[in-house]
Structure 1
Amino acid sequence: MSEQQFRYIVRLFGQDVDGTVKTPYALAMVKGIGYNTARGILMKIGIDKDKRLGELSDSELKKIEEALSDHAIKYLPSWMYNRRKDYESGRDTHLVTSDLIFYVRNDIEREKRIRSWRGIRHMYGLKVRGQRTRTTGRTGTTVGVKRSKGAQLQQQSSASSSSGGQAKK
């Protein structure tokens, strides 16, 4: 058996991943794969989770890529997929890297086109998921709250009377 060279950079799903990191964390660096999904894939394939990614052989790396080859993780339940009940096909799929970015962009464009609530929020660059917008998410030169003249005059008069009382002591 020939000793395989340790690889510091491994090409996985079309992107470079650090080979010095343990395998589940290295898989989690790929867009669309989280830590728990990575652990599930490694368990089902039979690869040790404590190995570094650079220590894996070519056949083991090929097994990992084949596990996600047809937009589905073989042997894992569908609730672990990141795109359940696809809008166009109705199937449960799991997307990674550029496929995931492409489908999310298409979903946003579809929502804008049909003028749904979420689509309108995306169009105007506002928060989409129900977050507060009164004080956060401000862009541009907005600094704070503008006060009315009555409140400013009242504040100035109270400040001058309190400072005058301290000066007499």
Structure 2
Amino acid sequence: MAEENEELKHIVRIMNTDLNGHQPVQMALTGITGMGRRNARLLAQKAEIEPTETLGKLSDEAISRLREIVESAQEHLPVWMKNRRKDLLTGEDRHVMGTDLVMALREEMDIIRKTRSYRGIRHERGLRVRGQKTRSTGRRGATVGVSRKKK
């Protein structure tokens, strides 16, 4: 039992992200920004690793295989699983993860603000963007509660 704990890697680094070595592979991979459970399970299977196996107990060779598959997730995921379908700038289907995802979202937000689209204006004003009602919900700041008309 003591030998197993010694070889357990507490932190595994994949795509500039520290992943918890105590979790199963499929759950630990969700620590990467832009990686969901389904994507993590599929990529673990592509790397020929059991998704329920503990990440810290994997051999160095298996971790390097997993790292290569995750970094090239673009080729391994079907089109319907990718998170940047018909990308605003390039028009192609991509899957972006990690810091690239944060940058892509920030660039897209800047574009919709500069073009003065409806969504961009709503984002600037801090209002709901996707057609939700705003009369009674989404209140924050000074407006708390319902104000009555004075008689």
- Please, what TM-score do these two structures have when normalized by structure 1? 0.79
Unaligned 5+ residue runs, structure 2? Answer: none
Partner of 2:32: 30
Partner of 2:12: 10
Q: Helix, strand or coil: the match of 2:18?
A: strand
Partner of 2:125: 124
Q: Helix, strand or coil: the match of 1:25?
A: helix
Counterparts of 1:80 and 1:20 in 2: how far apart (Å)? Answer: 27
Counterparts of 1:127 and 1:73 in 2: how far apart (Å)? Answer: 35
Give the superposed CA RMSD.
1.8
Counterparts of 1:66 and 1:17 in 2: how far apart (Å)? Answer: 15
- Residues matched between the structures, number: 147
- Please, what TM-score do these two structures have when normalized by structure 2? 0.88
Partner of 1:139: 140
Does the 8 Å contact 1:27/1:38 carry over to 2? yes
Partner of 1:163: none
Instruction: Tell me: higher relative CO, structure 1 or 2? Use CA pairs within 8 A at least 6 residues apart.
Output: 2
Counterparts of 1:63 and 1:121 in 2: how far apart (Å)? Answer: 44
C-alpha change, 1:33 and 1:136, in structure 2 (3 Å) is same
Equivalent AA in structure 1 for residue 47 of structure 2: I
Given the alignment, which residue of 44, 47, 53 partners 2:46?
A: 44
Q: Percent identity?
A: 41
Partner of 1:115: 116
Unaligned 5+ residue runs, structure 1? Answer: 151-169
C-alpha change, 1:5 and 1:17, in structure 2 (3 Å) is same
